[in-house]
Structure 1
């Protein structure tokens, strides 16, 4: 390890030890009561919470796995963690970079000669680093069920050759699940294993993640959460099926796990790349690289102010952190970690439109008590800003999705956004609408807070321009170009 890195790591360890020694003990009974209270208040059927603190993992569970069977959630219950899975795929990629098998800055086609997207020039230049930090520009929501065979990812990548770009590679950050499936295929080619096998053998086994899996027949060995759907303020109902994503979605969203196993995985990055028994899984340099700011987010709030190599990155009261959210059909997962404080919070839920509010409340209160930091709140400016809505009105389109921004009557917000399927996804889901209220206005970008009704939490909508002057909106961590 380079001397300068070792010195820096020593300083971090010293600060971490000081913060951990000053943190209060975890009060399981009080946090159990708080979890129960929040689930009831926000109509969330069930959840499992795992908190890494005091050097140990504290596990809590509340509610039911299924509102019709009334089977209770326990700490060993398994939930779908959705896009939190991307952190695991990123770690596998960094293992390969650690071993000298992958150059993050060389074109993907050097590893996957058959890789292609609709833009021929982008195909030649896109790198694994751009896939990891979501700057590849590849349209992010390409879904293709290529079956249950071990060739499912190879077939998925082959099918992605007609997928277009949201923006030129490197021009802005736009969240891409498609990119992570391409990374999953790179893992397969360089390890000679399926992505599922690589996950089990290279991460789960050394970290002791005995309740982390990717296939439904594995999930059936455990108590499994059923997804639930419903509008904010209403009691959600079970989804018609236990809808796990296709096997081909594994690298970007196909992991199921207990909350404690998610916290154990987060601990890998808190402990500098080592397993609890001291086994070196990732180099300290690779961990630091994953937590290094790679790109600034147009939206500074939703998943962090910056993106690293696999994680959303943030800073609360000067303390850096990382995390990710995940969602599948009626299940929502959340992870936030503060390495310097030795703290990670993982919440897995089985539905409820207000689940984000439950997590935000718990995470804010836990990190305040255990780490002494203030998780920032997001919402409209205290005094109504005078923002001209005209420059933002119009249509914004990316492959499969259309956003229509319209002016609003006085007293009903400044703008309204309608979000609906387009092209092949037209009519596949009910259109959604949000009212937008200004947060800030600068020459480089204008930020609005959006929500559907008073039961919703505020989410950011950011209007900005690329270096070439083209207008974009950043919403749900995805960049969408203005079409007219």
Structure 2
């Protein structure tokens, strides 16, 4: 495979427009306030485009060899490891997990439940969501699985419904360790990184930092702020492998070419087919133009008009974003990785660049910059309204004394806005965005902080208003008695 650090190796002059891709990527970076980005496009067994943009904040510009955390794109690598062990006869996909981890137990409605390896891979095991802050940063994979993911209370019966959870792949990572007799790190290095010549890929932040890991950023109210966050080793199988565009091109080439890279086979063609077989229907993510999406094993399969359109997986950490996309019919794939993490990331860059590479127009997508601006405007409007409400508190008693209608209106308004609303925001706020407080705190600390502060201030205002309402009500009641 061609080695190229910063620049373009076109398939042929008419097949790929490096200028169009370049303009598209730089425009998207500006919109999303991305500091550093790396992208690679591979066709069959050749890198046809690879380039770094911006600065890695290490004193050097980003290149095709600059490491980034790839987030949940790590899941596909863990799935590959499981399939390799299956082909060696060490794992059976339809065997219960507790055959490999005898101490592992799971329950559904207080009844013992049996989860298979395949269900973990397909994300339909019923295992609940699991996030980085559910475990200690220095916990090992074994510690995370034994201490945090044992005796699980399942959300659904195993094998029934799709429920995305990092826990599935952390458990798979522990199975890889037990079955192979190696640490997850050693296994991935020996069986994936070395044969695929992934020389700038790591399962260790310390090693990655010694090799110029790009600095990560968190978005605070639409603006990226540098964030050196803990590395969760115990969650590496589900979301913390570190790699670069060049290495991931090698990896994607093997996935597209029946498990082969150059003259090396890391998995049989049947194994790759199993890995990419769409199995469990999921929700169609916002921002995609797919008609239907099904989860395979560490990959999402997008359908359009009944046919497979894309095979992809995004990777989000608190301070990094990655996106791997494959167009099977064209045997072309892209990897995009950048240094801004969170809930709102530039998820349109990878598929857009890939469409340009095959001479198609990128699908219409939401402008990330516009979305961030709208969110900031909402923040400002809500903050202004809360401040006005606090300032008007001084005259609240006078207003409700003017008439019974005003008294009743303000009593109902206070109940809804100052009591029910803040309680609802605290109890159900994250769920309105399809998340949990744990996820929101990790990926969007700004939204978390804002929701909490607004809820507290509204509730305090509500307490003062309630005291005044009660005082006015008591006074009116006395006046009526006296009459």
Tell me, yes or no, whether TM beats 0.5: yes
Q: CA deviation at 1:207?
A: 1.0
8 A Cα contact 2:316 2:341, kept in partner: no
2:29 to 16, 30, 39: 39
- 1:68-467 to structure 2, matched below 5 A, reads 71-119=60-108, 124-143=113-132, 144-145=134-135, 152-159=140-147, 160-231=149-220, 234-239=222-227, 241=228, 243-276=229-262, 278-299=263-284, 305-316=293-304, 318-351=307-340, 356-357=345-346, 359-361=347-349, 363-370=351-358, 372=360, 375=363, 403-404=428-429, 417=433, 421=437, 429=445, 431=447
8 A Cα contact 1:24 1:370, kept in partner: no
8 A Cα contact 1:266 1:344, kept in partner: yes
Deviations along 1:347-405, one digit per CA (max 9) or x if unpaired, are 10101769734x415523532551658758689xxxxxxxxxxxxxx99xxxxx96459
Separation in 1, partners of 2:111, 2:174: 18
Separation in 1, partners of 2:178, 2:309: 34
- For 1:476, the equivalent position in structure 2 comes to none
Separation in 2, partners of 1:246, 1:257: 16
Deviations along 1:53-77, one digit per CA (max 9) or x if unpaired, are 37421211111223xx764222221
Q: CA deviation at 1:164?
A: 2.5
Separation in 1, partners of 2:239, 2:233: 9
Separation in 2, partners of 1:22, 1:71: 30
**More strand by percentage:** 1
Separation in 1, partners of 2:31, 2:361: 25
Separation in 2, partners of 1:405, 1:181: 24
Q: CA deviation at 1:124?
A: 4.2
8 A Cα contact 2:71 2:240, kept in partner: yes
Larger Rg: 2
8 A Cα contact 1:245 1:253, kept in partner: no
1:47 is paired with a residue whose SS is strand
Gaps of 5+ in 2: 1-9, 368-419, 450-483
Gaps of 5+ in 1: 1-19, 380-393, 396-400, 407-415, 434-484
Greater shift in the superposed pair: 186-195 or 113-122 = 113-122
Q: 1:108 to 1:420 in 2, by over 3 A?
A: closer
Separation in 1, partners of 2:137, 2:231: 11
8 A Cα contact 1:403 1:418, kept in partner: no
Q: How many residues of Structure 1 are paired with residues of Structure 2 in the alignment?
A: 377
- For 2:469, the equivalent position in structure 1 comes to none
What is the RMSD of the two structures over their aligned residues, measured on CA atoms? 3.6
Separation in 2, partners of 1:27, 1:349: 22
- For 2:481, the equivalent position in structure 1 comes to none
Separation in 2, partners of 1:23, 1:293: 35
Q: 1:319 to 1:421 in 2, by over 3 A?
A: closer
1:168 is paired with a residue whose SS is coil
Q: CA deviation at 1:209?
A: 0.8
Deviations along 1:173-202, one digit per CA (max 9) or x if unpaired, are 010101101100110111100000010111
Deviations along 1:99-130, one digit per CA (max 9) or x if unpaired, are 22111111111111011235487754100111
**More helix by percentage:** 2
Separation in 2, partners of 1:422, 1:350: 21
Separation in 2, partners of 1:291, 1:244: 32
Q: 1:35 to 1:21 in 2, by over 3 A?
A: closer
* TM-score using structure 1 length: 0.69
Separation in 1, partners of 2:343, 2:141: 34
1:236 is paired with a residue whose SS is strand
Q: CA deviation at 1:33?
A: 3.3
Separation in 2, partners of 1:195, 1:62: 32
Separation in 2, partners of 1:292, 1:54: 20
8 A Cα contact 2:120 2:168, kept in partner: yes
